[in-house]
Amino acid sequence: MKRHSLMIFAVVTALVFSSFSAIAGGPDPLFLVKVNGKYGYIDKTGKMIIEPQFDDAMDFNDGMAAVQIGDKWGYINTNGKIAIKPQYVFTSSFYDDCACVSIESEKYFIIDKKGNTLFRIGDNWTINRPSEGLIAVRFNSNGKWGYIDKNGEIAIEQKYDKAWGFSEGLAPVVINNKTGYIDMKGNMVISPIYDYAGFFSEGLAIVEIDNKYGFIDKSGKIVIKAQYDDVLGFKEGLALVKIGDKWGYIDKKGKMAIKPQFYFAMYFCDGLALVESDDNGGYIDKTGKMVIEADVEDAYNFSNGLARINLNDFESAYIDKKGKTVFVFENDKPNYDFNEEEDIEEIPDEDATFPGGEDALYEFLGSNIQYPELARNNNVTGTVVVKFIVEKDGSITNASILRDIGGGCGKEVLRVINAMPKWIPAKKYGKRVRSFFTLPVQFELKYEPEQEDETEQQ
């Protein structure tokens, strides 16, 4: 049975409490685990710090973690004490000492770490995550973007076609379909001349020129010329760059540190990066040496010394940087409901295929899967893994999520999987057979400027 991968890049242009940066603040050094159906937290040695007691929970960020007791969400601090009592139907993580919550559906508020309401988000507002004391906001769907402070007061006038959060004192803004940068007083410090411009990270920002990507510094000077097919920003001194269909890493002088060879690659975190090439997959160090082998579809990047690995359908583990298992915990159990009336062929002679092949499958999924709002609002990214049966007549049955990332992503994948057309069924000895198919779908937020509606330009 073959495994097939798909990466879906969602262009985020209208979010509620959305992400401003892929590199902003990681979780505190406590790690979420599930034991006997309840959620708690361990430290990086595997010691239980906060006993499993919550019905659901999120990672720590900014010293707080959202937890669910019964059907309501609240917040705990790193001592496991209730900091804000469970009372919400929706919570985001804390960023810049603020969080977005809802007590009743469709009404959202920004609160501080004491649970005090700072302001209510208007019904038609679109806002970004607080960053460096300011929040990018648009008050209605046809309006301009500007910035408010954490009390909801206007800080920078609404005059931009699109605006994002601040990073390292600068924020990308769009004027007439071109992106430049403003400072925290609203002064334009880098003229809007780029088709796309990303957030500053380690002093450099991604820019797009003539469909190629490079990097500028805070003066607007091009320090690494636009020459790559795709890029991700700098972290720990290295940036991901794509040439053709392969990813590699460059340093801040533009020198190739690890040659392009990976079909899949992630940022360096804690000195290691998760990658996959033709030969193998797992974690490499900054010389490009494979130090821990792993199935990338079941692995996460390192953070604060540990990485999560999915062991099977029911268990996950945290490993340390030597690959040693630190703690094993539960996955959410998949809801199997397979028809046992007839055996399912595990190793067919011919795999089941989507009509038109893999490219057509990718096109179908990419055209139909929508990034769930809850996931976008909370910067939920990662890989959903779905398993289903392709019946003898090509119909899809018994779709079940093996690995979810939350925020409604698993539910959305199931919706689209169940709406697929009939497949070409698998064969064994020339006869049609039932077969399993496992499909990973990666959700990743990729920030790009909004484009004018072509129909409005004509």
pLDDT in tens, 154-204: 999 999 998 988 999 999 999 999 999 999 999 999 999 999 898 999 999
**Residue that the structure tokens 């699109």 belong to:** 162
Q: What is the rounded CA–CA span in Å between residue 229 and residue 234?
A: 16
pLDDT in tens, 278-336: 888 999 999 999 999 998 777 888 989 999 888 887 899 999 999 999 999 997 644 43
Return the structure tokens found at 415: 């919706």
Mean pLDDT of the chain: 83
Residues in the chain: 458
Q: What is the rounded CA–CA span in Å between residue 6 and residue 369?
A: 12
Taking residues 81-85, report their average pLDDT. Answer: 97
Q: What is the rounded CA–CA span in Å between residue 208 and residue 447?
A: 12
Lowest mean pLDDT segment, chosen from 84-93, 102-111, 182-191, 218-227: 102-111
Burial class of 175 by CB neighbour count within 10 A (0 to 12, 13 to 18, 19+)? middle
Q: What is the rounded CA–CA span in Å between residue 440 and residue 420?
A: 16
Q: What is the rounded CA–CA span in Å between residue 48 and residue 150?
A: 35
Q: First CA to last CA across the chain, in angstroms?
A: 50
Residue 122 or residue 13, greater confidence: 122
Judge whether residue 17 has pLDDT over 50.
Answer: no
Per-residue confidence band for 265, with pLDDT thresholds at 50, 70 and 90? confident
Phi/psi region, residue 414 (left: phi>0; alpha: psi -120 to 50; beta: rest), is alpha
Q: What pTM was estimated for this model as a whole?
A: 0.70
Pick the CATH number of 358-446 from 3.30.2420.10, 3.40.50.880, 3.30.70.3400, 3.90.1150.10: 3.30.2420.10
Q: What is the rounded CA–CA span in Å between residue 102 and residue 89?
A: 6
> Helix (H, G, I), strand (E, B), or coil: what is residue 5?
coil
pLDDT in tens, 196-240: 898 999 999 999 999 899 999 999 999 999 999 988 889 999 999
Per-residue confidence band for 393, with pLDDT thresholds at 50, 70 and 90? confident
Pick the CATH number of 15-121 from 2.40.340.10, 3.40.50.720, 2.40.128.630, 1.10.1060.10: 2.40.128.630
> Helix (H, G, I), strand (E, B), or coil: what is residue 155?
strand
Q: Can you list the positions of beta strands (E) in 229-339?
A: 230-235, 238-243, 246-250, 256-265, 273-277, 281-284, 290-293, 307-310, 315-319, 325-330
Per-residue confidence band for 67, with pLDDT thresholds at 50, 70 and 90? very high
Q: What is the rounded CA–CA span in Å between residue 158 and residue 402?
A: 44
* Close Cβ partners of 346 (under 8 Å, ≥ 6 residues apart): 1, 435, 436
**Residue that the structure tokens 């239980």 belong to:** 48
Taking residues 425-433, report their average pLDDT. Answer: 76
The residues spanned by each domain of the chain are 15-121, 266-333, 358-446
With b meaning 16 or more CB within 10 Å and e meaning fewer, what string describes 112-136?
A: ebeeeebeebeeebbbbbbbbebbb
Return the structure tokens found at 347: 């190793």
Pick the CATH number of 266-333 from 3.40.50, 2.40.50, 3.30.70, 2.40.10: 2.40.10
